Structure 1
Amino acid sequence: MATVAIVHHALRQAATDLAAETARWLVGRGHEVRVPEEDAAGDRLSEHAWPSEKLTGGLDLAVSLGGDGTMLRTVDLVAGTGVPVLGVNVGRLGYLTAVEPAGLESALERYFAGDFSIDARMTLMVEVNGAGRSASWTALNEAVLEKTVSGHTVRLALALGGEGFITCAADALIVSTPTGSTAYNLSARGPIVSPHHRALVVTTVAPHMLFDRSLVLTAEEWVGVEVLDGPDAALVVDG
């Protein structure tokens, strides 16, 4: 018997229907099903509700039913546990998903038979320190420091490995993983990096300086960004 979490886009009826069907299919074959309690409202999934903070204990597989946003949420739920995620595209954007709804049962049968491979993806550890406070997140795609005032830029100092590198004024600065290199980084004319590489990509958005090229760094490189005087900046962590 395996323990499987189903994380779905609860506001999308097709995803909710597929979640209920998949739960029935799994239970009928003797497997345990868990659904984050915030997604389990309604008669069809309520019996499988689990607190999110306890979801991954003893978990074998997580199934994501939705688009890329749901996939990123699922990855965040299981980050650091080693639990594999099977992404099913029940959304408008499915760049990160591997299976269409019609192929889900077949994919699950292959998983339980041991006929599968895992596509390991690098994640980004994001830490914020300042004003006596600290916080941290894990990102599959990217972290972005961006301006908050229209018509203004944000002034940033970039350090690599603890050494100052450049200061710049820009609309934003993106630090992305290879997976995230095809997201905001790509729209800012940054390079596409194969997800099989381990690297960091640093790209400025509309910089006010002559140096406007992306940096491709090793995965172990420490990247520090400091907001200098001027308008505040907002941090957006995607994934």
Structure 2
Amino acid sequence: MSGVALVAHHEREAAADHAVVAADWCAAEGIDFWLTAEDGAAIGLERYVGKRPLADADVVLSLGGDGTMLRSVRLLDGAAIPLIGVNLGALGYLTEVEAHDLPSALDRFFAGPERGEWELDNRMMLDVAVNGTHVGQALNEAVIEKSQSGHTVRLLARIDGEPFTYYAADGLIVATPTGSTAYSLSARGPIVSPRHRAVLLTPVSPHMLFDRTLVLDPSEIVDVEVSGHRRAELAIDGQETALLDDGDIVRCRPSESSANFVRFGTYRYHQILKAKFGLADR
């Protein structure tokens, strides 16, 4: 049976109302609809909680903003399920439709890519491991940074197994092109089109002369080793993941999985960027 799963922002008042709109659309079309138990409890819609995993859905609706899109990707855990971002806040980089267009978006999706005039925007992700154990996937970035304020952390970066340099910095960001407009951008990293496949290595507040981002080939593997007595923390897409001690190694490599965003019509990333920064035509 066809199915639509929904992931909702827990603090947006409109989330519950629009979730019900999606549920009613699915009921009218004879399509299964469900929420996770966490989301159902958070927005007061326990009656729609289902036992099926998100990976069983034909499409996942992400109701919120870019943060909810990141959580949706994390919950899919690499499953190749199309994701429609429904915007409930300010202009985001990842969401695709406004909330009032949700029924139309579902009509078009289930009409198929040709009749519905949509396509998939496949975004590169990173597989992240600590000391050889897989700990998650990053759509935006993996960040290794200091765990104590007032101190830097010493990190050795290796590229394809070869030492590059030691960084004395607040941290290192290993980012995808999608993540180039997130934390990496605030650390003076470059903006990279999400159509590219690349790995960005951006230092955070480095206490050294070399303070530039490296833009690496997507086939290159980045290892970051904690060096010295000061502990570090690993965060993946903003989620604290692990505490790191001297000698611990974080490995970031391109994932075989991708995040698959539904795009209706032509997706023009640079126009979103222009609106975000208030850039004029002349």
- How does the TM-score come out when normalised to structure 2? 0.78
Q: Which residue of 2 aligns with 1:171?
A: 170
Q: Which residue of 2 aligns with 1:210?
A: 209
Q: Which residue of 2 aligns with 1:23?
A: 23
- How do residues 1-239 of structure 1 correspond to structure 2 at under 5 angstroms? 2-41=2-41, 45-51=45-51, 54-92=52-90, 94-114=92-112, 115=116, 116-129=118-131, 134-238=133-237
Unpaired runs of 5+ residues, structure 1, are none
Could you list the runs of 4 or more consecutive aligned residues of structure 1 that deviate by over 3 angstroms after TM superposition? Answer: 42-45
- Give the number of aligned pairs: 234
Contact kept, 8 Å, 1:9 with 1:16, in 2: the verdict is no
> What SS does structure 2 have at the residue aligned with 1:211?
coil
Structure-2 separation of matches of 1:219 and 1:50:
38
Structure-2 separation of matches of 1:233 and 1:167:
15
Letter in 2 for 1:225: V
The offset of 1:79, in angstroms, is 3.1
> What SS does structure 1 have at the residue aligned with 2:168?
strand
Structure-2 separation of matches of 1:180 and 1:212:
18
Structure-2 separation of matches of 1:19 and 1:36:
12
The offset of 1:141, in angstroms, is 0.4
**Which structure ranks higher in relative contact order (CA pairs < 8 Å, sequence separation ≥ 6)?**
2
Please give the per-residue CA displacement for 1:188-212, whole angstroms capped at 9, x wherever unaligned.
1101111001110000011122211
Structure-1 separation of matches of 2:50 and 2:199:
35
Identity %: 53
Change (3 A) 1:43 1:104: closer
The offset of 1:102, in angstroms, is 1.3
Alpha-carbon RMSD across the aligned residues, in angstroms, is 1.8
Structure-2 separation of matches of 1:203 and 1:31:
45
Contact kept, 8 Å, 1:34 with 1:55, in 2: the verdict is no
Q: Which residue of 1 aligns with 2:275?
A: none
Contact kept, 8 Å, 1:20 with 1:44, in 2: the verdict is no
Structure-2 separation of matches of 1:37 and 1:16:
14
> What SS does structure 2 have at the residue aligned with 1:50?
coil
> What SS does structure 2 have at the residue aligned with 1:117?
strand
Structure-2 separation of matches of 1:181 and 1:164:
24
- How does the TM-score come out when normalised to structure 1? 0.92
Please give the per-residue CA displacement for 1:9-61, whole angstroms capped at 9, x wherever unaligned.
1332211211122111111111100211111138973233135xx51343210
Q: Which residue of 1 aligns with 2:272?
A: none
